[in-house]
Amino acid sequence: MIKISNAKRVTLFENYQNQIEIDPKLDRTLVSFQANKKENFYRWFKYKEGFSKRLVKYFLFKYHPSPGHILDPFAGVGSTLFAARELNWDTTGIELLPVGVFALESRIVSEAVNLDKFKQEIDSFKTNFHLVQNNIPKKISHISITKGAFSKETENYLNCFLNYCSNIYNDKIKRIFKFAAFSILEEISFTRKDGQYLRWDYRANKSWGKTKFNKGRIYPFIESINKKLIQLYQDLKFGNGNDLFTQFEDNKSHSKKLNILQGSSLKLMPKFNNDFFDFIMTSPPYCNRYDYTRTYALELIFLGYNDEQVKNLRQEMLSCTVENKEKIKILKNIYEKLNRTDVFNKVVSIYESNEAMQEVNNVLKLLNDRKLLNNSNIPRMVKNYFLEMAFIIFEMYRVLKKGGYSVMVNDNVRYGGQEIPVDLILSNFAVNFGFELEKIWTLPVGKGNSSQQMGNHGRSELRKCVYVWRKPE
Ligand SMILES: C[S@@+](CC[C@H](N)C(=O)[O-])C[C@H]1O[C@@H](n2cnc3c(N)ncnc32)[C@H](O)[C@@H]1O
């Protein structure tokens, strides 16, 4: 029997328990992409790791009803930015993966398209597009993890479609057509995005599949692309007709420019000015081993990324997969170049002096030494996840105006049976950097569950939370 202490985590819980509160209005659909499925524009590209536009508006109305400048350092497909812009906010986002950036920029391009011309192009596509069987110039180049993702026929269609797009004269329409194909890759393929991996349907005939997985209907290319093009056209034509918040919206909000930076927040945030943003709303990758570069591999190859480039993106991501190597030297370098070694030292020292953090690191090491974790790199991932998040939180504090709020969506995790209270540890870092912990809003949990407690017997459901931190005046 190994003796594992959770005393430091319990102490942290006791310190913050008065700020942990269930918000009955927060449900899984609001905090995930689910609620976007019925929202015009937001439903175009299914980014399963996204949150909903309603969540963004809910927190803006709650904490900062008048517009200002909002930052999302993990922008994904831009839910924060688009939702805030509808309320007349200035917006800045950072996103590492070209997947989110392509989706977001396509949406911006689509806003300026001539709708009549777009409709004509759709009609002309319906009559003029034909599948050519031979000598199709190849537009799709696979990487090892995507080979065989489409049937031969679907891949021919894709290549023909992309060739057809190259001949569309109007650049905006060309972009929207390409985006339409980008958005249907999953449903026309043998794969399903499944958190850590791409899951393969049995029809792909991959011999290594342990259990027979049936993803359901695999859509024919033509049916799927026609449906997507019509959806894009209709949403552009009818706008936000289904938005309950419409009465609050300023019709001129589209004149606001959406500012998106592609790259890593760890590198870009240190270059921002002090006390600049009025509000931060974000959801970093969770500490849950989800590998976006694998689940979005089809979209990455569609955008022309090769094996090497995909691996580089994986390493640049915030450490949330077991493959991520530590970035401490890179971070040191960034701060040295900016003549801010003091900041680097401060963040590392706050991380190292966090007792609950050290308890988690020690416990995971112990479990690993006894071979009780199902992957030996979990301790490295957890350690680096929190260290990198400490840098992000420091920067969030620095760039926020006094009196400004930061809202973060994240889930707690469990490894080797040990609960890692991501909400408490990150909030503790935030407080050490100067934030006030306003609230840890949690989602309502199943009946009779003790997720509000820490250190209780049994396996409680892990807290799913939205943390609100405030920079004092
Ligand atoms: C949970 S998702 C955010 C989704 C977003 N809220 C939305 O609704 O679309 C986290 C995002 O962080 C991005 N990301 C991961 N590491 C990053 C880094 N170092 N810098 C910037 N973005 C990063 C991922 O690509 C992913 O899109």
Q: Is residue 377 part of a domain?
A: yes
Decide: 317 in ligand 1 pocket, CB within 6 A: yes
Query: Distance from the CA of 285 to the center of ligand 1, in angstroms?
Result: 6
Mean pLDDT of 10-15: 96
How many domains would you assign to the chain? 1
Q: Is residue 461 part of a domain?
A: yes
- What percentage of the chain carries pLDDT values higher than 90? 81
Q: With cut-offs at 50, 70 and 90, classify the pLDDT of residue 373.
A: very high
Integer angstrom CA distances of residue 365 from 205, 290, 415, 420: 39, 21, 11, 14
Q: Is residue 136 part of a domain?
A: no
Decide: 266 in ligand 1 pocket, CB within 6 A: yes
Decide: 50 in ligand 1 pocket, CB within 6 A: yes
Decide: 77 in ligand 1 pocket, CB within 6 A: yes
How would you classify residue 263: left for phi > 0, otherwise alpha for psi between -120 and 50, otherwise beta? left
Ligand 1: residue of 46, 55, 72, 96 to mutate (most ligand atoms within 8 A of CB) is: 96
Q: Is residue 443 part of a domain?
A: yes
**Atom 27 in ligand 1: which residue has the minimum CA distance?**
76
Q: Return the closest-CA partner of residue 442 out of 419, 421, 411, 413.
A: 411
Q: With cut-offs at 50, 70 and 90, classify the pLDDT of residue 375.
A: very high
Q: Is residue 459 part of a domain?
A: yes
Q: Is residue 259 part of a domain?
A: yes
For residue 464, give both structure tokens: 């799913």
Q: Identify the CATH number of the domain in which residue 289 sits.
A: 3.40.50.150
For residue 160, give both structure tokens: 């023909």
Question: Is the model's pLDDT at 449 over the cut of 50?
Answer: no
Query: Distance from the CA of 282 to the center of ligand 1, in angstroms?
Result: 9
Decide: 264 in ligand 1 pocket, CB within 6 A: yes
Q: With cut-offs at 50, 70 and 90, classify the pLDDT of residue 396.
A: very high
**15-46 core/surface letters (b: 16 or more CB in 10 A; e: else):** ebeebbeebeebeeebbbbebbeebbbbebbb
What value, to the nearest 5°, has the Cα angle with vertex 158 and ends 152 and 160?
A: 100
Residue 297: phi and psi, rounded to 5, are -65, -35
Q: Return the closest-CA partner of residue 296 out of 374, 220, 189.
A: 189
Q: With cut-offs at 50, 70 and 90, classify the pLDDT of residue 33.
A: confident
Query: Distance from the CA of 286 to the center of ligand 1, in angstroms?
Result: 10
Q: Is residue 146 part of a domain?
A: no
Query: Distance from the CA of 94 to the center of ligand 1, in angstroms?
Result: 8
> Whole domain around residue 21: which residue ranges?
7-109+241-470
pLDDT (tens digit per residue) in 270-305: 999 999 999 999 999 999 999 999 999 999 999 999
Query: Distance from the CA of 359 to the center of ligand 1, in angstroms?
Result: 28
